């Protein structure tokens, strides 16, 4: 059986980031709810187990609890945040409300623990042999804390207000961090995970993306058998990788349906057809459905973001069902769902941030035997790696992400054909200017950037006349996993050029603003 790490989800927003960090160690990892039975855990035979964070207090009524048998399996366990408090609580320690909560970047003092904390915080202070303690910066987010550690546990790190920032019982293989080593803000998180996965758990780190592709193709063939498959192809990175993966698995049993819902970027429908259609490089049984008016009609008068997402999601499914009936009974629907979609849609134990049209936005009834989501456990960068492994060209693999609901969630308020036209033109200008600056070596390309149409109208003056028109918002972020992101530091020269061109060339726009919000607290998309 292959090496694997099991992540038990207690409701934290970062649970899949933990899995991602484990995979960066080239070890396979899966996330399961904390309710996974002991028998199922034994069948998986994990090399190690990780408890995630969560929003509850371990001493509260109905708070999620781990099965105590886990501690008797002889398998190393790492608890993070809530998971750390849970380990302390269940093994005889004491957890209480912290006198002072900690959030954000926090300097953590290391008190030992040379197994899982080996090499962490070993800066110039320790090299000089001074008496100053070693420190490192980690991300904290907690209101409870471990007040007393269980018997035979050693405190291995602390902060000025958190006496137990880390603890361990190395003999039993139990480790716990109050901080979050999985997030990018934790400077030495990668070292910590390598120490646990490769050191404590003894994994060799031999799992690679080619292993994922091979095993996924095999499992798809077994699941589908001689059934027919319909793939929802948008032309974006995720659905394109899913389509090619399915094509390699089931060949002519696959039909790819591209729905032009009228909410695409400028000229994108034709571009997608050129790549995947009959004249393109891929033999995918490609069908294009022009359903622009259908979606405009369904969205008429709707302003709530969640309602828009769910309406778009349901219309997509209904179109796919109609197309499936035209080609004969189709058993399986394939979607390019990836994990950031899943986690934000609040599936499992995490809080709902927004429903993605292909996850939380699905209608209650779907007329397919089963939905196949081969990329469901991957992050965006892992999807790109999968695409390269499948032989997709780099220009397709590294294209800009685009949400399934399209411009429907980049238009604040009601979606109309006129507003779609405005944001299409503004977005095309923005993307063209960014491309020019990147080509000229004036900047690096942001990981995602787009124009959104606000629902705000303001007074302006153009020529000698008063205007009362819309404001367009520009968004650009840098990120590796799309779970957290920072606003890109764009050149002022670029922003000035884009603003001038949009106001001069796009009707009904008299103001352009730039969104500096990170994720969190914002999301990358506006809705």
Rg (CA), the chain: 25
Phi and psi at residue 200, in whole multiples of 5°?
-60, -45
Examine the residue annotation and report whether 81 is marked as an active-site residue of this protein. Answer: yes
Out of 182, 344, 382, 389, which one is annotated catalytic?
A: 182
> Which residues sit opposite 256 in a β-bridge?
231, 286
Query: Of 463, 449, 456, whose CA–CA distance to 413 is shortest?
Result: 456
Task: Tell me the CA distances in angstroms from 300 to 65, 155, 201, 311, one per residue in order.
Answer: 46, 59, 55, 11
Catalytic annotation present for 433: no
SS (H, E, C) 10-28: CCCCCHHHHHHHHHCCCCE
* Residues contacting residue 521 through CB under 8 Å, at least 6 positions apart: none
Contact 136, 150 (CB under 8 A): no
Q: Residue 92 in contact with residue 151, Cβ under 8 Å?
A: yes
Sequence length of the chain is 527
Can you tell me which residue has the tokens 């179109």?
319
Joined tokens for residue 97: 């409300």
Q: Return d(Cα 222, Cα 309) in angstroms, integer.
A: 33
Closest residue by Cα to residue 240 from 393, 405, 409? 393
Return the closest-CA partner of residue 85 out of 131, 54, 62.
54
Reduced 3-state DSSP string for 343-369: HHCCCCCCCCCCCCCCCCCCCCCCCCC
- The enclosing H or E element of 136 equals strand 134-148
Alpha helices for 338-475 (secondary structure H): 339-344, 380-389, 394-397, 417-439
Q: In whole angstroms, give the CA distance from residue 468 to residue 454.
A: 14
Catalytic status, residue 182: yes
Return the half-sphere exposure (C-beta side, CA atoms, 13 A cut-off) of residue 98.
22
Collapse the DSSP code of 38 into the 3-class scheme (helix H, G, I; strand E, B; otherwise coil) and give the result: helix
Q: 180, 261, 356, 357: which one is catalytic?
A: 180
Instruction: Spot the catalytic one: 25, 81, 203, 386.
Output: 81
Going 420 to 424 to 425 to 426, the CA torsion angle's sign is: positive
Q: Which residues have a catalytic role annotated?
A: 81, 180, 182
């Amino acid at each position: 059986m292959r090496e694997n790490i099991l992540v038990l989800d207690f409701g934290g927003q970062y649970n899949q980031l933990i899995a991602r960090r484990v995979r960066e160690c080239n070890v396979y990892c899966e996330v399961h709810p904390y309710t996974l039975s002991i028998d199922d855990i034994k069948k998986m035979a994990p090399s190690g187990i990780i408890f995630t964070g969560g929003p509850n207090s371990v001493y509260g009524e109905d708070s999620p609890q781990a099965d105590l048998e886990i501690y008797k399996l002889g398998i190393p366990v790492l608890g993070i945040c809530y998971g750390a408090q849970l380990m302390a609580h269940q093994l005889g320690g004491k957890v209480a409300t912290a006198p002072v909560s900690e959030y954000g970047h926090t300097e953590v003092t290391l008190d030992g623990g040379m197994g899982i904390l080996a090499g962490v915080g070993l800066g110039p202070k320790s090299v000089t042999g001074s008496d100053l303690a070693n420190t490192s910066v980690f991300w904290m987010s907690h209101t409870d804390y471990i007040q007393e550690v269980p018997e035979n546990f050693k405190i291995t790190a602390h902060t000025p207000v958190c006496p137990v920032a880390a603890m361990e019982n190395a003999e039993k293989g139990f480790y716990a961090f109050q901080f979050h080593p999985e997030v990018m803000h934790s400077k030495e998180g990668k070292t910590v995970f390598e120490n646990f996965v490769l050191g404590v758990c003894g994994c060799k780190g031999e799992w690679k993306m080619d292993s994922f592709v091979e095993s996924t193709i095999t499992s798809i063939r077994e699941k589908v058998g001689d059934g027919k498959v319909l793939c929802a192809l948008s032309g974006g990175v995720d659905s394109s990788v899913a389509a090619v993966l399915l094509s390699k698995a089931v060949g002519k049993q696959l039909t790819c349906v591209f729905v032009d819902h009228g909410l695409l970027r400028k000229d994108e429908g034709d571009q997608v057809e050129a790549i995947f259609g009959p004249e393109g490089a891929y033999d995918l049984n490609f069908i294009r459905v022009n359903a622009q008016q259908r979606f405009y009609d369904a969205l008429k008068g709707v302003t709530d973001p969640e309602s828009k997402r769910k309406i778009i999601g349901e219309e997509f499914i209904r179109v796919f069902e109609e197309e499936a009936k035209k080609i004969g009974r189709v058993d399986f629907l394939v979607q390019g769902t990836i994990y950031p979609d899943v986690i934000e849609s609040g599936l499992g134990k995490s809080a709902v941030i927004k429903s993605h049209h292909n996850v939380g936005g699905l209608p209650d009834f779907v007329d397919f035997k089963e939905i196949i989501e081969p990329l469901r456990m991957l992050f965006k960068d892992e999807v790109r790696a999968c695409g390269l492994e499948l032989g997709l060209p780099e220009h397709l693999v590294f294209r800009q992400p685009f949400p399934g609901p399209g411009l429907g969630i980049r238009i604040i308020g009601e979606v109309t054909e006129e507003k779609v036209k405005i944001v299409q033109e503004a977005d095309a200008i923005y993307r063209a200017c960014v491309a020019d600056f990147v080509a000229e070596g004036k900047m690096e390309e942001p990981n995602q950037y787009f124009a959104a149409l606000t629902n705000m109208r303001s007074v302006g003056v153009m020529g000698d006349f008063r205007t009362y028109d819309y404001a367009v918002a520009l968004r650009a972020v840098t990120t590796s996993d799309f779970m957290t992101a920072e606003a890109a530091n764009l050149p002022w020269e670029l922003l000035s050029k884009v603003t001038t061109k949009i106001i001069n060339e796009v009707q009904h726009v008299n103001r352009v603003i730039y969104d500096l919000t990170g994720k969190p607290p914002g999301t990358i998309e506006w809705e």
